[in-house]
C-alpha cells in the first residue's frame, strides 16, 4: 500500500512510479557506471588485442567482445549524464517555491524510500512558461512533515530548469 498525500489533483500510480524512478536515477552520481563502462571497454579491447592472436579466431569470441564494448559505451554515456547533472546542480543558485504535487512512501523499491514531487514553473526570457514535474527521494520519516506543505523550496539552474533539487539539503 502506498501512503500518498496529494496536494493537487491526484497523480496516477504510473506517474508516481515514473517520478520515483527519476529520483532514484538522480541519486546516483554516475561514478560507478563510468568505472564499469571503462572496465568493460578496456577488458574487451585487451582481449581482442592480446588474446585473439593466441587462439584461433572464433566469431563468437569476437562478437562477445564487441557486445562488451557496446555495453561499456552505454554505461559511460549514462554515467557521464548523471555525473554532469550533479556538477550542474552544484552550480544551481536560483531558489523558488514550487507547488508540491504529492508526497508518498514508495514501496516498489528496496528500503521503501519517501518521495516528494513538485511542479517547477519557470518563465523564460522569451516569455515561454516551462512546467517540469520532478521528484526527489527523502527520508521516509520526513514524509509526515512534508505532506502538510503546499509548496517546497527548489534550487534550480536558470539555464536548464530540469536541473533542480530541494533547497533544504
Average pLDDT score over the chain: 80
| End residue of a domain, out of 66, 88, 110 | 88
Residues 138 and 114 in one domain: yes
146: pLDDT strictly greater than 80: no
2: pLDDT strictly greater than 60: no
Q: Helices 59-91 and 13-27, interaxial angle, to 10°?
A: 90
In a domain, 1, yes or no: no
Residues 150 and 110 in one domain: yes
Q: Are strands 151-157 and 94-105 parallel, antiparallel or unpaired?
A: antiparallel
Residues 111 and 162 in one domain: yes
Give a three-class secondary structure readout of 25-50: HHHCCCHHHHHHHHHHHHHHHHHHHH
In a domain, 4, yes or no: no
Residues 76 and 108 in one domain: no
Query: What global pTM score does this model have?
Result: 0.67
Residues 111 and 77 in one domain: no
| End residue of a domain, out of 88, 105, 133 | 88
Rounded-to-10 torsion of CA 18, 20, 26, 28: -120
Residues 104 and 157 in one domain: yes
Domain that holds residue 108: 13-26+94-166
Retrieve residue 76's grid coordinates.
559511460
Q: Look at 11 and 6; give whichever has higher pLDDT.
A: 11
Question: Considering its fold, how many domains does the chain have in total?
Answer: 2
Q: Helices 31-46 and 59-91, interaxial angle, to 10°?
A: 150
Residues 17 and 58 in one domain: no
Residues 101 and 122 in one domain: yes
In a domain, 7, yes or no: no
Q: Across residues 125-131, what is the average pLDDT? A: 81
Give the long-range contacts of residues 26-30, CB within 8 A, separation 24 or more: 26/82, 26/85, 26/136, 26/165, 27/137, 28/82, 29/82, 29/83, 29/86, 30/78, 30/79, 30/80, 30/81, 30/82, 30/83, 30/85, 30/86
pLDDT in tens, 40-87: 999 999 888 887 666 666 777 788 888 999 999 999 999 999 898 888
Residues 68 and 19 in one domain: no
pLDDT band with cut points at 50, 70 and 90 for residue 5: very low
Residues 101 and 47 in one domain: no
In a domain, 107, yes or no: yes
Amino acid at each position: 500500500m502506498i501512503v500518498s498525500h496529494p496536494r493537487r489533483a491526484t497523480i496516477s500510480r504510473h506517474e508516481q512510479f515514473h517520478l520515483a524512478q527519476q529520483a532514484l536515477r538522480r541519486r546516483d552520481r554516475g561514478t560507478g557506471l563510468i568505472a564499469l563502462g571503462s572496465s568493460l571497454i578496456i577488458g574487451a579491447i585487451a582481449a581482442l588485442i592480446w588474446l585473439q592472436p593466441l587462439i584461433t579466431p572464433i566469431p563468437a569470441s569476437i562478437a562477445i567482445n564487441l557486445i562488451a564494448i557496446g555495453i561499456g559505451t552505454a554505461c559511460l554515456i549514462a554515467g557521464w549524464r548523471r555525473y554532469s547533472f550533479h556538477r550542474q546542480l552544484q552550480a544551481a543558485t536560483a531558489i523558488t517555491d514550487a507547488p508540491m504535487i504529492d508526497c508518498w512512501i514508495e514501496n516498489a523499491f528496496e528500503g521503501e524510500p519517501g518521495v516528494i514531487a513538485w511542479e517547477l514553473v519557470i518563465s523564460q526570457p522569451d516569455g515561454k512558461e516551462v512546467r517540469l514535474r520532478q521528484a526527489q527521494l527523502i527520508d521516509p520519516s520526513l514524509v509526515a512533515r512534508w505532506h502538510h506543505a503546499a509548496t517546497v523550496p527548489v534550487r534550480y539552474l536558470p539555464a536548464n530548469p530540469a536541473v533542480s533539487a530541494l533547497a533544504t539539503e
